[in-house]
A and B are shown apart, each in its own frame.
Chain A
Amino acid sequence: MGRYVLRRLLQMIPVFIGTTLLIFLMVHALGDPIAARFGDKAPDPVVAAQIRAEFNLDKPLWLQYVLYFKGIFTGDFGTAFTGEPVIDLMARSWPVTLKLGLTAFVIEAVVGIALGLVSGLRRGRLTDTVAMAFTLIVISIPVFVLGFTLQYLLGVKWAVIRPTVSYGAPLNELILPGLVLASVSLAYVTRLTRTSVAENLRADYVRTAVAKGLPRRRVVTQHLLRNSLIPVVTFLGTDLGALMGGALVTETIFNIQGVGYNLMQGVRRQESATVVGFVTVLVIVYLVANLLVDLLYAVLDPRIRYA
C-alpha cells in the first residue's frame, strides 16, 4: 500500500507540471496582458515596458513559467486589477464555493444513493422506470437551463425562496443552487447505484444472507449496499473536484460570490493573474481529489492489490 501511494504521488508530478504548463501557455502565449489592461487605447511604450518589467513579462517564457510555478508553492498569484492580491480574493471566495460544493455533494450522495437503491431493488417495475426516465431527463437538461427554470419558478413565480443568494451565502439559501449544481451528478449516481445494486442482488453472498434468515433490512443495508457502493464512492470522489469547477455556472446564475463567480469576472475583465491563479488552484483541487479517490479505492476494496 505504501509503495502504491508513493508511486501514485510520483505519477502525479508530470501530470501536474504538464497541466500547469498548458494553462500557463494558453494564457501567456495567446493573449497580451498589457494590451488588455489598456483596452482599445495603444499603451505608451515606456509605461508598457515598465509594467512588463514589474510582472516579469520581459523575461524569457521558460523563466516566466518557473516563476509562476514557484508562485504556486509560495501562494504568490500576483495582484488583481483592484490592487488586491489574488490570494486574498481566493481566501474570500473559497469558503463560499466549498459550502456550495459540499451542499451539492451531500444532496447528490444522499438522494442519488437512495434513489438508486430503490430502483435497483425494484428493477423493471414502475418505480424503476420512473426513476430512470427522471435521470435521463435531468442529464439532458443543461445545468444553466435547469438553474434558470427553477430560479424562475421557485424564486419569482411562486416566491418560495430568494431568487439570488445574499452576501456571505447562508446555508439555507444554498439548498436550491446546491440542488442545481448536483443535478447531473445526482442522475449519474442514481444510475450507477442502480446497476451496482441490481448486479450484486444476484451475488452468492446475498443469497446466503437471505438463506440464513437475516431480516431483509439487514441484508440490504449490511450486505448489499456496502458492496454496491464501491463504484459509487469512486464516482463521488472524482465528482467532488468537478463540482468545484462546475460551480462556475451555478454561481453565475444565483449570483453567489464564490470561486467561479470571481473567475468569470476575471475572464470578463481579461485579468490574466486572477484567471491563471484561480484556474491553477481549481486544477490542483481536481487532481488531489482524483488522487484521494484512487487511494480510497485501494482502502475500500481489499481485493485490489497494488504492487
Chain B
Amino acid sequence: MPELTKTPVETEVPETGALAAAEPVREKARSLWQDAWRDLRRNPVFIISGLLITFLVVIAIWPGLIASGDPGDCDLAHSLQGSAAGHPFGFDQQGCDVYTRTVFGARASITVGVLATLGSAVLGGVLGGLAGFFGGWWDTLLSRLADVFFGIPILLGGLVFLSLVGGSLWSVITFIVLLGWPQVARIARGAVVTVKQQDYVQAARALGAGSTRMMLRHVLPNAVAPVIVVSTIALGTYISLEATLSFLGVGLRPPTVSWGIDISSASSSFRNAPHMLLYPAGALSITVLAFILLGDAVRDALDPKLR
C-alpha cells in the first residue's frame, strides 16, 4: 500500500526553491534513498560536516599533504617551546612538533572510528536482523546476550579488557565492536520485526518467496536505514571513546600517534604550555563534532517521521 500511494503524495508536495520549480515534475516514485539524498544535498549542516570529514579522511590517508615533517622527529632542545617559524603550534615536552603530531593523529582516530563502526554495524546488523527475522529461541538468546553487554559500563569494560589484552589499534577496535554491537542489534531487530509485518513482505511470502529472497530483496532494503542512522551517530562517540581510553593509558600506545595520547601527555605540563593541550584537543573536538553533525543530518534525512 505505501508503494502505491507514494507517487501522488510526492508530486502534491510543492517544493520550495527555484531548483525544484525548474525541474519537470517527475512521475517516477522516488525511493527513500533518493529522497534522503535530495534532502541531504540541500542541508548546509550536511555539506559543512561532509566537507570537513572528507578533509579529515584525506589527511588521515595522506598526512604528508599538509605536514611535511615526521611526528617522531623530535628535538629536546625545543621542549615546551611556543610557536616558531615553520612550527605554528609549538613543541611538546619531547620537543616534537605539535602541528605535525596533530595532523598525523587524525589517522588513528579516523581508523578506529570507521572500522569500529563498520564492525559493530555488520555484526549487530546481521545478528539483530536474523533474531528479528527468525524469532524464537535465537531471538531470546540474543536479546539476553545483548542485555549482558548492556550491563557493562563501556569505560569500565574498556579499562578491564584493554589493560589485560594490551592496547593497540586492533584491540581497541575489537573492544569497541564487542561492546557496540548490541546497540545496533537492538535497532536492527526492531526494524526487521516492523518490516516483516508489512503487507508487501506478507505478499511476497504469499507468492512463495523463500526465506533468503525475502530477507535480501524485501526486508533488508527496508530495514537498513535505522542501522545506518544509529551507526553514523555512534561514529563520533567511538572516536571520542578511543581518545578517552588512550588518555586513560589503556588504549593506543605511544609509537602510534593519537590525539588521546598527546592530550594525556599534555596534561602533566599544560599549565606551562597550554598549546600542547589546545591543538590536539581542538582537532579531536572538531572531528567528533563533524561526525555528530553528519549523524544528525543523516537521521533527519532517513527518518520519514520527521518529514
Contacts and interface: CB of A to CB of B under 8 A. Distances in A.
B293 A141 contact: no
A145 B155 CA distance: 16
B289 interface: yes
Interface residues of A, number: 43
A109 to B, nearest CB: 20
Contacts of B248: 248-249, 252, 264
Residue in B156, B247, B249 with the greatest tally of chain A CB atoms within 10 Å: B156
Main secondary structure of the interface of B (DSSP, over half): helix
Nearest to A11: B147
B270 A245 contact: no
B144 interface: yes
Main secondary structure of the interface of A (DSSP, over half): helix
Contact of A30 (B149, B165, B271, B293): B165
B164 to A, nearest CB: 4
Nearest to B281: A145
Contact of A148 (B151, B165, B263): B263
Contacts of A142: 240, 243-244, 284-285, 288
B144 A148 contact: no
A137 B289 contact: yes
B200 interface: no
A18 B148 contact: yes
B285 A287 contact: no
- Contact-residue size bin, chain B (C-beta under 8 Å from the other chain): 35 or more
B288 A140 contact: yes
A156 interface: yes
Contacts of B164: 26-27, 30-31
Contact of A263 (B149, B159, B165, B240): B159
B152 A249 contact: no
Contact of A267 (B243, B250, B285): B250
A279 B271 contact: no
A143 interface: yes
Interface string B31-61: 0000000000000000000000000000000
Contact of B153 (A27, A145, A282): A282
Nearest to A243: B153
Interface string B246-276: 0111100000000000010011001100100
A22 B236 contact: no
Interface string B130-145: 0000000000000011
Given A263-B159, A279-B160, A287 B151 contact: yes
A152 B271 contact: yes
Contact of A136 (B149, B152, B160, B292): B292
Given A18-B144, A136-B293, A283 B156 contact: yes
Interface of B: 144-145, 147-149, 151-153, 155-156, 159-161, 163-165, 236, 240, 243-244, 247-250, 263, 266-267, 270-271, 274, 277, 281, 284-286, 288-289, 292-293
